[in-house]
Structure 1
Amino acid sequence: MAITDADTVLVLGAGTSAPFGLPLGGVLIDKIRERIRSEIAHALGRDFTSRLQEASVSYAAFYRMPFYGAVGSRHIKWNGNSGQIMQSVNADLERIQNLEKLLANQTSETIDDFIVENPDYADLAKIGIAVEFMMGCYDFDDYRHAVKPFSSRITSPQNGLEIRNWIHLLINVIRQGIRSGNVSAENKIRVITFNYDTILEHVLSEQFSNSQLMQGKNYQDFVEIVHVHGQCGELNEQIASPQKRCVSWAQGIHVVNEPDVPGEILQARQTAREWVEQAGEIYLCGFAFARPNLRLLGLEQPQLHRRRLFVHNYDGNVGLNRTAKTLESEWVSVEINEATPDRPMQICDWIRTGYLGEIG
């Protein structure tokens, strides 16, 4: 029983990014709305057009108005190194006002649901997600930026608690699998992620080969990752234009039930379904068990072979437990860790308990 065994899959949901300070789907609705309001307040009493122009083209001004800067960058006419914002931005400015009102009175539980329910504002909402992730993944000042220390041994989430970096523990499980001969280029660890961020890939690239025995080895030779909802892109140390990077990241986001999904996302989802169909053991971590995502993976399909599901439930959420248990059948067993709101189980503790296998 380990993710290093053949025919196993690790499924990651948004909860696995929370220890690194990134907001969850429901919180994103409020975060984007609050950012729009704060950026408007920042520009009050000043020449808004001038502020928007600066935020859209200037590195130094971006982090003060990142949402408006990213949206405005789509309307910049460049003449050499000089950029001028065009009148076409006015239509987006009006849409931003409407977006803020929609978000303030939204019944949708997550930003993904909001995007599906409000397709005319999907592009702006996705830019909002990208901006929140950009500001959550980088430290900015007037002249420079740096990727936040996601590779550190200890993570510092927003609630101030310091907890062990769970990706470090995952690396230890994988290394143990390599030493035992279970993990190889022919039998890679399979990871399905619903997350838009690439913190997992970043930490793996930074830390996988940081021991003498693993020196020179590339994690991609042992781990295969598919993003079924798309991704924002790599966490590069150098970003020439954070405004354009946010727009690019937004274009990489494709939520479930959204029409006109590009071919590479359809292929990623097909690969994920094939992995799940073949798997005898599935490990689900930080995963909310939303019905559309269960259907995307094919987990609600009747099974004709033995399957075991191992579920991480951070705080003993009753709805998650109930939904997970509906997947049980004569052929499928579901094991969920014990936790309560008063005594939650961190992801690092779930891994330490041995759910993913021997840490080594």
Structure 2
Amino acid sequence: MNRENTNQTKASPNIVAVIPCYRETGHVLKVIKHIGPEVSKIVVVDDGCPENTGDLVEKKCPDKRTHILRHSNNLGVGAATITGYQKALALGADIIVKIDGDGQMDPKLIPNLIRPIIEGNADYVKGNRFHRLDAIYCMPLLRIIGNTFLSFLTKVSSGYWSIFDPTNGFTAIHGKIAKILPFHHIAKGYFFETDMLFRLGTLKAVVKDMPMQAIYSNETSHLRISRILSEFLIGHLKNSVKRIFISYFLTDFTLASVELVLSILLYSFGLFFGIPRWFESIDTGIPATAGEVILAALPIILGTQLLIAFLNYDFRKTPKNPIHPSLH
């Protein structure tokens, strides 16, 4: 009898879906309608929406699984998601799914999204719209270019070198992982999903991609590249420095740590020694001596080799064993 109850619990985790909403009155009801029975509760967070999305859902959504939360002001998609996470945890969620209310994500893919977590192969799963070429053809060119650039920056700042499409908002996280996240430190705006990956990296959580195809129709994007570009660049720079410090000097110290320090020192010496002499040669017309060239170039060559060795180690350091089974 006890074995049967245990198996049933493992086979039927408590899944809670979180839908952050801002100007989503044209799509959110359809999104909720297509969320399958595998989800036990649906948390809709009205993030100070001027269209009163929360009121619309309250009046016109017959789904009894729905819980509606409201922000008095627009705090950002990250803040709305965190509010939803906290409510989901209060509802006893084993797995929390985050799906946007704009209709670009197919709720029927939720079973695929949560499967790696249920099977014990991941702590966090996110959608990847770039896995299939035929899906990429449906995507606006500017979005493809921007995502490629942001994906590389995210690899550097998070340490998850094998993932792509970092701003994808279709995600699932194990409840035990969500409980230990520092919500007060996570970005509250559009940088939220990317900052989540950095935070998960510091926990050494396993992150997996799930192939998906986005649905593009007449929805309006509230994301303005010019408005968020500086936020993303500064955020990635800060997270990259923090990740390196935490992973290689604060919580661990390996040969890779030494390689990184030496590569920086050698690069610095080669540049600071070589650049002034290069300008001096241009001004005077007198070529630098062979010794000066070697003294400037050799540290840079050695620094490059050490940096490549460090990056090779960093590539292989991506977490492979989920941590949620060991959490209580």
Which is higher, the Rg of structure 1 or of structure 2? 2
Q: Scaled by the length of structure 2, what TM-score is found?
A: 0.23
More helix by share: 2
Q: Scaled by the length of structure 1, what TM-score is found?
A: 0.22
